[in-house]
Amino acid sequence: MVAEQTKPYGSWDSPISAASLVDGVKNITEIKTEDLDVWWSESRPDEGGRVTIMRQRNGHTPVEITPTSSNVRTQVHEYGGGAWWVHQGTLYYTELTDQRIRKMTEGSSPVLLTPNPPEGQTWRFADGRVTSDGLWCICVREIHHNLKDLVVEPDNQLVAIATDGSMRINELVVGADFYAFPRPSPDGEFLAWIQWNHPSMPWWGTELWVGQIENEQVVKGRKIAGSEEESVSQPEWSASTDLFYLSDRSGWSNLYRFNDVDNEPIIGGEFDIGKPLWTLDQSRYAIRSDGTAIAVITEKNGLPSLATASETSKLEWSAVHQLRVDGNDQVILLAANHSTNTSIIKSSVEQEILYGPKPHLLDLDYFEPPTLEQFPTFDGNHAYVRYYAPAHPSMKGPSDQKPPLLVLAHGGPTGSARNELSMALRYWTSRGWAIADVDYRGSTGYGRAFMESLEGEWGKVDVADCVAAARYLTEQGKADSEKIAIKGGSAGGFTVLAALAFYKDFSAGASRYGVADLEILARDTHKFESRYLDRLIGEYPREKDIYAERSPINHTEKFTSPMIILQGSEDAVVPPNQAELVVAALQRNRIKHAYLLFEGEGHGFRDAENIVAALEAEYSFFAQIFGFEPPDSIERILIK
């Protein structure tokens, strides 16, 4: 047994380096099943974030299906998801470089199914399924218009693409602003899909439609569920052509079955099944061969369980990302816990791991699970925080000290704090930091009312809740009130900037591709989010005064805390000009700061070298500000 050493919090020796986060790491992002085969997509940071497709035949050794030159990613809605699908052993996928669909069987070369678009357009495809006769892929197409002097919003539609390589494409459904989940029925007679229009987002209001497939067209389409105030998602057909879907009409995302008389609740209660549709082709439940459903639910303790219409069973995992069933009706999960990375699980009695990434081989004392705590907000309501104490098997802090606290503000803002192993988070706790991962009001997983409590209040309630969480934890004696930092990306980056402008609780902050000017975001973002702020803040430009009031860039004279800004040069969601405005303000105010612009990166960092550089820069920055001596031989970032 190694003797326990006492060392100042924040400067503990740790085997979790930034490089270990990406060295040989393979992140499983989506799973699918066909008969007894399991397919998955795998993101590889040490290959520039390239995504490849793997196949495991009936439990045998996995095989990489796509060529080593391929990168399977779609840019539909900018966030992607659903870039690949399978049918009778054939893989269909979208290639990142040209966004064209290819098909291939194991051991063969890819065959192009979609042509180059006409001049003045680019096409993107996602979320496909092959019809039962194998003749057509039905999927989402997003058409971008490249016009020199005219800005035109992209068109979204559902299309059928011939699988024979003839390059034929039929437009099936058009007219709505957005589409998702096109699902042909197993008898080939019907098509179900989800659609919604501006200014809604898919977690606020969507519609479920069904039409008949006749002569390679969709006719007699009708809405069967959903509204502007009801979010429906993930329609799925049973083998006998019963249609299931998720709806939050009760205030919670539950499972229903459609029939001509009524919409029948199947799995329901005060728990959520669905997740916000930031990425396409989500799978939170599955239909077995006998027509019964099984779903993953998020209970009030923040942990997932498996539920059917008659029973609920606990899982060994703290987070489930996707659920499928195989040809034997066995549940296949994409799941993780606080000591095991995201893995593919067969949820038999033993919950067997079918495939997992490289194990970390570290002492489990580095990975103590967090506690989920409800804390009071400043206005008499409540929110939630996952608190991670410093964790190390052979280090402790001085008895007269409290650990520094890093407050995490998740993105979205309709996201949620992760409840699984994050080596990036353990990088901090293993060095003697405490972490507060905040589920401020507006987060998902706590019912629709909790999510809606942020409407009209973004930039106020989320910020106040992060401050309240920090104060709550320091009052509980769990952190040093003089050493509190805040970190977030995207919408979380906006929360960071607003917290540093409007409160004095934080000694430093780190913003990754954060929103600084809400007016610029309202005018200069992509289609999917172009009306998002209508409900979070107010209609623009009619209520532009509110945008100006809440934009941190208009209150730069209030910035007093040191700040590190990280940004991707190719970010289409939050363009680099937002980061540059903040940096210019920090320079004017002579506030200590650092700025890193990562060439070629978009909204989120994928390249291994950049992931390492970003994390080490943040740690070096905070160490210098808080007076820690880093135990690592990392590059000392220049603070201006």
Domain termination residue (choose one: 325, 355, 385): 355
Give the model confidence (pLDDT) of 426-464 as tens digits. Answer: 999 999 999 999 999 999 999 999 999 999 999 999 999
Give the model confidence (pLDDT) of 257-268 as tens digits. Answer: 998 767 889 999
Is the pLDDT at 597 greater than 70? The verdict is: yes
* Percent with pLDDT over 70 in the chain: 99
CA distance 437 to 369: 12
CA distance 218 to 160: 10
pLDDT of residue 573: 76
Across the chain, which distance is largest between two alpha carbons, in Å? 77
5 DSSP β-pair partners: 395
Q: What is the mean pLDDT of residues 609-636?
A: 92
Give the model confidence (pLDDT) of 189-235 as tens digits. Answer: 999 999 999 999 999 999 999 999 999 999 999 999 999 999 999 99
Beta carbons of 265 and 245 less than 8 angstroms apart = no
DSSP for 409-420 reads E-STTT-----S
pTM, whole model, 2 decimals?
0.93
- 299 by Cβ neighbours in 10 Å (0-12 / 13-18 / 19+) ranks as middle
Q: Are residue 144 and residue 243 in the same domain, yes or no?
A: yes
Q: Are residue 482 and residue 351 in the same domain, yes or no?
A: no
pLDDT of residue 3: 67
Q: Are residue 344 and residue 397 in the same domain, yes or no?
A: no
Helix, strand, coil fractions of the chain, as percent rounded to 5: 15, 35, 50
Q: Are residue 398 and residue 466 in the same domain, yes or no?
A: yes
The CATH number for 435's domain is 3.40.50.1820
pLDDT of residue 357: 82
Give the model confidence (pLDDT) of 303-318 as tens digits. Answer: 999 999 999 999 999 9
Give the model confidence (pLDDT) of 135-177 as tens digits. Answer: 999 999 999 998 877 889 999 999 999 999 999 999 999 999 9
- Judge whether 560 lies within some domain: yes
Which residue intervals of 459-517 are DSSP H helices?
461-475, 491-502
Is the pLDDT at 523 greater than 80? The verdict is: yes
Closest to 23 (Cα-Cα) out of 306, 357, 285:
357
Q: Are residue 294 and residue 394 in the same domain, yes or no?
A: no
- Judge whether 19 lies within some domain: no
- Judge whether 587 lies within some domain: yes
- Judge whether 633 lies within some domain: no
Give the model confidence (pLDDT) of 341-358 as tens digits. Answer: 999 999 877 788 999 888
pLDDT of residue 21: 82
Domain termination residue (choose one: 328, 355, 382): 355
pLDDT of residue 601: 92
Is the pLDDT at 59 greater than 90? The verdict is: no
Cβ neighbours around 292 below 10 Å, total: 14
Q: What is the mean pLDDT of residues 599-613?
A: 89
Q: Are residue 520 and residue 562 in the same domain, yes or no?
A: yes
pLDDT of residue 605: 87
The CATH number for 69's domain is 2.140.10.30
CA distance 461 to 372: 20
Contacts 24+ apart (CB under 8 A), 193-198: 193/158, 193/235, 194/226, 194/232, 194/233, 194/235, 198/530, 198/531
CA distances from 208 to 152, 158, 183, 288, 290 (A): 27, 14, 11, 22, 24
- pLDDT interval class at 2 (50, 70, 90): low
* Percent with pLDDT over 90 in the chain: 84
Amino acid type, 315: L
Is the pLDDT at 25 greater than 80? The verdict is: no
CA atoms within 13 A on the CB side of 525: 23
- Judge whether 1 lies within some domain: no
Is the pLDDT at 236 greater than 60? The verdict is: yes
The residue count for the chain: 640
Q: Are residue 65 and residue 140 in the same domain, yes or no?
A: yes
CA distance 207 to 230: 8
State the residue range of the domain holding 415. 370-626
- Judge whether 12 lies within some domain: no
Q: Are residue 251 and residue 388 in the same domain, yes or no?
A: no
- Judge whether 638 lies within some domain: no
Q: Are residue 335 and residue 384 in the same domain, yes or no?
A: no
Q: Are residue 345 and residue 480 in the same domain, yes or no?
A: no
Domain termination residue (choose one: 355, 388, 410): 355
For residue 586, what are its two tokens? 């920090």
- 269 by Cβ neighbours in 10 Å (0-12 / 13-18 / 19+) ranks as middle
For residue 365, what are its two tokens? 């004392």
Q: What is the mean pLDDT of residues 413-435?
A: 95
DSSP for 38-64 reads EEEEEEEGGGTTEEEEEEESTTS--EE
Judged by average pLDDT, the poorest of 285-294, 428-437, 567-576 is 567-576
pLDDT of residue 360: 87
* Count of domains forming the chain: 2
Mean pLDDT for the chain?
94
Q: Are residue 326 and residue 298 in the same domain, yes or no?
A: yes
Is the pLDDT at 525 greater than 80? The verdict is: yes
For the CA atoms of the chain, what is the radius of gyration? 24
- Judge whether 35 lies within some domain: yes
Q: What is the mean pLDDT of residues 396-423?
A: 94
Q: Are residue 278 and residue 417 in the same domain, yes or no?
A: no
- pLDDT interval class at 1 (50, 70, 90): low
Cβ neighbours around 560 below 10 Å, total: 13
CA distance 158 to 127: 10
